[in-house]
Chains A and B, each alone.
Chain A
Amino acid sequence: MKILGLLVAVLTGCMLLYCAGDFPDWADPNSPASLHVSPHYIEKTMEETAVPNMVTAVLADYRGFDTMFETGVIFTAGVTVIILLRRFRRKDEADVQGDSDSRKGPPDDIIIQTICRFMAPFMQLFALYVLCFGHHSPGGGFQGGVIFGASFILLGVAYDLKTILRRIGARVSALLANTGLLVYSGIGALCILLGANFLDYSILSLILPATGDIMARSHGILGVEIGVFLGVSASMISIYLDLSSHGQLDEGL
């Protein structure tokens, strides 16, 4: 196998080196990629979507359809981990001791627990800030969602899994993930019901009061980012719950 691996790697490297002469130079402002479609994105984002952050505008509006499926990919990962690992137990069955090695973990440390307990609400506030300011500074639904999920995972690492489960149970996190995705695809379906194409946010100006077509796009972008936020944070928590306890949902790492 090692020879096969070496052969494949060397062949791929040779193939790439063969064409390396033809690549545009690094950071060349006149490369074809910088001249064809992206000047439109840079120059027209403010007038077409009223969102200064071009990356968010392209992500959630021009190529919003890709982003919907990307959120679907994270959701799929969450469902996959559940279907592979989760041990579904009925409520009346006694809690069986895990058959793998004991997961006692390190003893409780009061310094770590106190600091994490203080940090968690600030992390969540920061996550909401990153979500809402995705229009004006680097940020958006994905980044905010991961930080929000990480705040719960931090509590789980500092205390134990039951701490997360008391605050956001396994079923609730799955339902929240679904809700987030339904918000995103629901906004798209709403645009069809109002008469325009899928994910054409400008038609939302019909139901949002006192906005023009362009501001409706900005609000539509915020709406889908909220959907992404819910989907990503809930999926992250759900994946952690299953991976750390091997589906038993009793003791975490």
Chain B
Amino acid sequence: MEFIVAKYNYWIVIVLLMIGLYAMIAKNNLIKKLIGMCIFQTAVILFYVSTAAKSGGATIPIIEHGHGHEAAAHAAHEAAHHAAHAVHAIDYVNPLPHVLMLTAIVVAVSTTGVALALIMSIYKRYGTVEEDEILEQIK
């Protein structure tokens, strides 16, 4: 039971991956295939982002007292830090998966855009987006 709860983010990702993969392969309608592709890509993105979290009060990856003159004001309130600008990795979530997934989201959006343009061309040419009807027309 502990095992299931401790890794719950992975179960969600696995379910989404399976749904997306099934939709991409088994569905007849091209738009549904495209939606399956979006779900699949989103699942991979969620996987990465969920690995970035850190328990224990870690905050977003932006250094609070990074501005110039505000640093002095903040330093007075920071009881845990000895030096005014010491930064500890334990206080911030892991920034690297966020960066990687910014790239992956952009790639996913671009692929979706290209696939939509292809579907529009197919619709204009064949008049339908159901794959079996298109294959009928080709024969």
A–B touch (CB < 8 A): the answer is yes
Complex interface residues of chain A between 86 and 101 (CB less than 8 A to chain B): 100
> Are A55's CB and B94's CB within 8 A?
no
Given A9-B18, A26-B50, A55-B61, does the pair A42, B89 have CB atoms closer than 8 Å?
Answer: yes
> Are A43's CB and B102's CB within 8 A?
no
Q: Could you mark each residue 63-76 of chain A with 1 if its beta carbon is under 8 Å from any beta carbon of chain B, else 0?
A: 10011001101101
**In the complex, what distance in Å separates the CA atom of A81 from the CA atom of B28?**
24
Within 8 Å CB of A41, what residues of B?
95-96
Within 8 Å CB of B25, what residues of A?
1, 4-5, 8-9
Complex interface residues of chain A between 1 and 47 (CB less than 8 A to chain B): 1-2, 4-6, 8-10, 12-13, 16-17, 20-21, 23-29, 31, 33-34, 37-39, 41-43, 45-46
**In the complex, what distance in Å separates the CA atom of A33 from the CA atom of B60?**
17
> Are A81's CB and B114's CB within 8 A?
yes
Within 8 Å CB of A76, what residues of B?
110
In the assembled complex, B107 has its CB within 8 A of some CB on chain A: yes
Within 8 Å CB of B102, what residues of A?
55, 59, 70, 142
Given A27-B54, A29-B55, A42-B89, does the pair A67, B103 have CB atoms closer than 8 Å?
Answer: yes
> Are B120's CB and A85's CB within 8 A?
yes
Q: Could you mark each residue 31-67 of chain B with 1 if its beta carbon is under 8 Å from any beta carbon of chain A, else 0?
A: 0000000000000000000111111101011111011
Given A23-B7, A42-B87, A81-B113, does the pair A28, B94 have CB atoms closer than 8 Å?
Answer: no
Within 8 Å CB of B109, what residues of A?
74, 77
Report A249 CB to chain B, min CB distance, Å. 14
Give the number of residues in A that approach B within 8 Å (Cβ atoms).
61
In the assembled complex, A103 has its CB within 8 A of some CB on chain B: no
With A23-B7, A29-B54, A138-B60 given, can you name 14 additional A-B contacts, CB distance below 8 Å?
A2-B26, A5-B26, A9-B18, A12-B17, A12-B21, A33-B94, A42-B87, A46-B63, A46-B66, A70-B102, A70-B106, A76-B110, A142-B106, A242-B117
Closest A-B pairs by Cβ, 5 of them: A52-B66, A5-B26, A5-B25, A77-B110, A39-B89
A-B CB contact pairs (8 Å), 16 listed:
A2-B26, A9-B18, A10-B18, A16-B17, A17-B14, A38-B96, A42-B87, A54-B63, A54-B95, A59-B99, A74-B109, A77-B113, A100-B124, A138-B60, A242-B117, A246-B120
What is B's interface to A at a CB cutoff of 8 Å? 3, 6-11, 14, 17-19, 21-28, 50-56, 58, 60-64, 66-67, 85, 87-90, 92, 94-99, 102-103, 106-107, 109-111, 113-114, 116-118, 120-121, 124
